């Protein structure tokens, strides 16, 4: 065991003061986290909310086990995609009737991007971020290939240049507000405004934002958005994703995937497809009921929460993490890549280090669970609902100890640690 530097005492006092004053100090009890674990990977898989097991037990034994197929009606399974969609809608700033839950983010992206592009006929360009999560890039390529459109990979910071040069050719701009590797936060309002000024539509991938910060979809005039249920919404592994379509597009939008549950009269079993009105048209196939009801139970965590407070505490925690890293990891080969400016910071902190893989594994062995993204980023997801400033200090102190004692495998990076 190495001796902690003098600055550690000061940081510990600061952590205690921040934990005493910061709001939401008591929401940790809403999660069933293992003892003695600092969980910094909720931006990949959120932990189990305490509300989920009793609900799942009821869904399994009473609803499925006893009531069998009648549950589609008696337990309102059939309505769940739109009902749970409205609950997600409240978290992302959408009035009821515009958000739907079901399928994966990838499927929703394909569906939404195809629909958005079709609303801008005669415009041949789909814009995506070269640093976007791979599924977004692959699916943009795929939609383009199938519809004869072209893809422009342009960073959010360079969007203005592209729009100035050929804005009238852009159909859809598809970005994520938070860069999944660096944690940089992009300005949804400014980018949406710029795209709209050029006559284009926007599609936001909210995987790393929904549940972590206020997202004002309606207020910002966003056209389409998608996001997953298993990160900051804590809906469980493979939780269904959500799709938002602004009401002003409801009359005209055509989902790329026209499955039977999106039909206006699904049980009429008609020969041809007639879209259901509104957001229900985004339904595709039979909803994954177990995961969907798990997500519904998980979302009760947010019932009485103010997302502004969640954001304030998240910024306090990420700011403190950067400060601890700046103090305790100075001179040890780390480079913070997440912006220090709170306005440009999502709910994670990423540090670059050549031995990211070995360090993340060594941390996990000591109960500090983060992840890494190849080749050299240690990534710490910060969820304000169950982490404290003391947790953050413990994580950085542990990282310092591992590096200074060389207690990690310095072999080259071998792939992602989830
Ligand atoms: C921005 C973003 N989009 C999409 C996904 C994943 O999509 P899916 O839920 O379909 O695996 C992720 C992470 O897995 C992501 O970070
Ligand atoms: N979706 C994931 C999965 O099925 C397994 C492991 C990790 C993930 C992730 O969510 C990765 C994540 N989108 C990322 O930000 O890198």
β-pairing, 335-336 vs 348-352, is: antiparallel
Residues pairing with 335 in the sheet: 352
Give the pLDDT confidence score for residue 416 in this predicted structure: 64
45 C-beta closer than 6 A to ligand 1: no
Ligand nearest the Cα atom of residue 43:
2
Residues 281, 115: contact at Cβ < 8 Å? no
Q: What is the pLDDT of residues 302-345, one digit of tens each?
A: 999 999 999 999 999 999 999 999 999 999 999 999 999 999 99
Which is higher by pLDDT, 21 or 274?
A: 274
Give the pLDDT confidence score for residue 418 in this predicted structure: 67
The domain 7-30+306-405 having CATH identifier 1.10.3720.10: the answer here is: no
Q: What is the pLDDT of residues 200-221, one digit of tens each?
A: 999 999 999 999 999 999 999 9
For the domain made up of 52-302, give the CATH fold: 3.40.640
Give the pLDDT confidence score for residue 274 in this predicted structure: 97
Q: What is the pLDDT of residues 345-360, one digit of tens each?
A: 999 999 999 999 999 9
C-alpha–C-alpha distance, residues 221 and 202, integer Å = 9
Ligand 2 centre to CA of 232 (Å) is 12
State which of 40, 45, 178 you would mutate to test the pocket of ligand 2, scoring each by most atoms of that ligand within 8 A of its C-beta.
Answer: 45
109 C-beta closer than 6 A to ligand 1: no
Long-range contacts formed by 33-36: CB under 8 A, 24+ apart:
33/386, 36/367
Q: What is the pLDDT of residues 36-62, one digit of tens each?
A: 999 999 999 999 999 999 999 999 999
Give the pLDDT confidence score for residue 26 in this predicted structure: 85
> What is the 3-state composition of the chain as percent helix, strand, coil, each rounded to the nearest 5?
45, 15, 40
Query: Quick one: which atom of ligand 2 is closest to the CA of 43?
Result: 15
Ligand nearest the Cα atom of residue 176:
1
Average pLDDT over residues 129-145: 98
Best CA proximity match to 254, nearest among 224, 227, 226, 228: 224
Give the pLDDT confidence score for residue 21 in this predicted structure: 85
Helix (H/G/I), strand (E/B), else coil: 67: coil
C-alpha–C-alpha distance, residues 269 and 344, integer Å = 50
Query: Quick one: which atom of ligand 1 is closest to the CA of 104?
Result: 10
State which of 138, 382, 418 you would mutate to test the pocket of ligand 2, scoring each by most atoms of that ligand within 8 A of its C-beta.
Answer: 418
DSSP-derived secondary structure letter, 30: G
Nearest CA to ligand 2 atom 1: 44
Ligand 2 centre to CA of 161 (Å) is 31
Examine domains 7-30+306-405 and 52-302 and report if their fold is the same: no
Q: What is the pLDDT of residues 217-249, one digit of tens each?
A: 999 999 999 999 999 999 999 999 999 999 999
Residues pairing with 378 in the sheet: 351, 372
Query: What's the whole-number average pLDDT of the chain?
Result: 96
**Neighbouring C-alpha atoms within 13 Å toward the C-beta of 369:** 18
Helix (H/G/I), strand (E/B), else coil: 344: helix
Residues 268, 328: contact at Cβ < 8 Å? no
SS (H, E, C) 227-238: ECCCCCCCCCCC
Task: Sketch the domain layout of the chain as residue ranges.
Answer: 7-30+306-405, 52-302
Give the pLDDT confidence score for residue 104 in this predicted structure: 98
Give the pLDDT confidence score for residue 410 in this predicted structure: 87
Q: Has residue 22 got a pLDDT over 80? A: no
Give the pLDDT confidence score for residue 374 in this predicted structure: 92
327 C-beta closer than 6 A to ligand 1: no
Q: What is the pLDDT of residues 364-417, one digit of tens each?
A: 999 999 999 999 999 999 999 999 999 999 999 999 999 999 999 987 656 666
Which class for 378: exposed (0-12), middle (13-18), buried (19 or more C-beta within 10 A)? buried
Q: Has residue 4 got a pLDDT over 70? A: no
Give the pLDDT confidence score for residue 413 in this predicted structure: 59
**Alpha-carbon 62 to chain mean position:** 32
pLDDT confidence tier of residue 24, bands split at 50, 70 and 90: confident
Q: Tell me which residues are annotated as active site.
A: 133, 205, 230-231, 379
205 C-beta closer than 6 A to ligand 1: yes
Give the pLDDT confidence score for residue 25 in this predicted structure: 66
Neighbouring CB atoms inside 10 A of 365's CB total 11
State which of 44, 108, 131, 135 you would mutate to test the pocket of ligand 1, scoring each by most atoms of that ligand within 8 A of its C-beta.
Answer: 135
Give the pLDDT confidence score for residue 264 in this predicted structure: 98
C-alpha–C-alpha distance, residues 414 and 418, integer Å = 12
Q: Which residue has the tokens 């749970």?
A: 84
C-alpha–C-alpha distance, residues 254 and 369, integer Å = 42
Percent of the chain, pLDDT > 90? 94
Give the pLDDT confidence score for residue 5 in this predicted structure: 72
Ligand 2 centre to CA of 231 (Å) is 9
């Amino acid at each position: 065991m190495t001796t902690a530097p003098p600055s550690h005492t000061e940081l510990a006092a600061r952590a205690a003061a921040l934990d005493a004053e910061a709001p939401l100090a008591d929401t940790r009890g809403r999660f069933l986290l293992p003892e003695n674990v600092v969980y910094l990977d909720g931006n990949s898989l959120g932990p189990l909310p305490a509300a989920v097991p009793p609900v799942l037990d009821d869904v399994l034994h009473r609803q499925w086990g006893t009531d069998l197929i009648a549950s589609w009606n008696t337990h309102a399974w059939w309505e769940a995609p739109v009902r749970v969609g409205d609950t997600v809608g409240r978290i992302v700033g959408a009035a009821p009737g515009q958000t739907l839950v079901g399928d994966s983010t990838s499927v929703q992206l394909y569906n939404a991007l195809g629909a958005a592009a079709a609303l801008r006929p005669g415009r041949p360009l789909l814009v995506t971020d070269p640093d976007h999560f791979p599924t977004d890039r692959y699916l943009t390529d795929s939609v383009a290939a199938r519809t004869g459109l072209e893809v422009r990979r342009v960073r959010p910071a360079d969007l203005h240049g592209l729009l100035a040069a050929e804005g009238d050719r852009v159909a859809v701009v598809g970005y994520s507000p938070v860069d999944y590797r660096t944690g940089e936060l992009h300005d949804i309002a400014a980018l949406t405004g710029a795209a709209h000024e050029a006559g284009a539509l926007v599609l936001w991938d909210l995987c790393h934002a929904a549940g972590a910060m206020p997202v004002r979809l309606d207020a910002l005039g966003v056209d389409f958005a998608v996001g997953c249920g298993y990160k900051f919404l804590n809906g469980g592994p493979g939780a269904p994703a959500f799709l938002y379509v602004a009401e002003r597009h409801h009359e005209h939008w055509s989902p790329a995937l026209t499955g039977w549950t999106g039909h206006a009269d699904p049980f009429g079993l008609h020969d041809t497809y007639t879209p259901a009105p509104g957001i229900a048209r985004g339904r595709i196939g039979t909803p994954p009921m177990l995961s969907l009801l798990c997500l519904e139970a998980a979302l009760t965590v947010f019932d009485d929460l103010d997302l502004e407070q969640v954001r304030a505490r998240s910024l306090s925690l990420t700011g403190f993490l950067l400060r601890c890293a700046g103090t305790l990891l100075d001179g040890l080969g780390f480079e913070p890549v997440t912006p220090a400016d709170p306005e440009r910071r999502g709910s994670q902190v990423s540090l670059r280090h050549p031995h990211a893989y070995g360090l993340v594994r060594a941390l996990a062995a000591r109960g500090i669970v983060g992840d890494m993204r190849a080749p050299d980023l240690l990534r710490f997801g910060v969820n304000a609902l169950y982490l404290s400033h003391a947790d953050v200090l413990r994580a950085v102190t542990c990282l310092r100890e591992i590096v200074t004692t060389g207690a990690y495998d310095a072999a080259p990076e071998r792939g992602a640690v989830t």
